[in-house]
């Protein structure tokens, strides 16, 4: 299953490597393929000090955890997404959260599911008829069934 990871999911995994979210990402035998765009790394870098403070990490430990989590996520250049697909994503996100355009576009591009904890985004886009979201609980159940 192809899963596009929103930045808030990666943040959660980085902040708590024992959480359900981190266990899903780090499970070595799962059949999920995780994807994101380079925007994920940019947003992690942008909020690195806050993550460090909230997670009570040293610089060294934070860098190790970020590398651990992001190593399981294949980063796709958004330029590979067709203009039509990107425009669709932009239409869906423009009045909700334009920062999520790349993630929605990538989800469409790879025919995947979008894993996000952003309730406002989910509510707004579902109203527009787009529902390719997958929840942490759904992923966890699928993971447990595969063991």
pLDDT digit string, tens, across residues 79-131: 999 999 999 999 999 999 999 999 999 999 999 999 999 999 999 999 999 99
Domains of the chain: 2-146 (3.40.50.1010)
Query: Which tokens sit at 114?
Result: 């979008």
**Distance between CA atoms of residues 83 and 79, nearest Å:** 9
pLDDT digit string, tens, across residues 20-70: 999 999 988 778 999 999 999 999 999 999 999 999 999 999 999 999 999
Residue from 23, 5, 34, 21 nearest 133 by CA = 5
- Find all residues with CB under 8 Å of 101, minimum gap 6, and list them: 86, 89, 90, 92, 93, 94
**Cβ–Cβ contacts within 10 Å for residue 145, how many?**
7
């Amino acid at each position: 299953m192809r899963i596009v990871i929103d930045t808030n999911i990666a943040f959660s995994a980085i902040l708590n490597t024992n959480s359900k979210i981190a266990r899903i990402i780090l499970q070595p035998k799962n059949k999920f393929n995780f994807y994101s765009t380079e925007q994920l790394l940019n947003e992690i870098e942008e909020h690195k000090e806050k993550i460090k403070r909230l997670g009570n990490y040293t610089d060294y430990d934070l860098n190790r955890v970020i590398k651990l989590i992001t190593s399981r996520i294949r980063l796709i250049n958004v330029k590979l997404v067709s203009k039509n697909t990107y425009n669709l994503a932009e239409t869906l996100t423009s009045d909700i959260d334009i920062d999520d355009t790349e993630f929605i576009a990538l989800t469409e591009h790879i025919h995947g599911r979008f894993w996000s904890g952003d309730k406002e985004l989910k509510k707004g886009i579902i109203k527009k008829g787009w529902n390719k979201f997958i929840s942490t609980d759904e992923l966890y159940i699928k993971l447990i069934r595969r063991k």
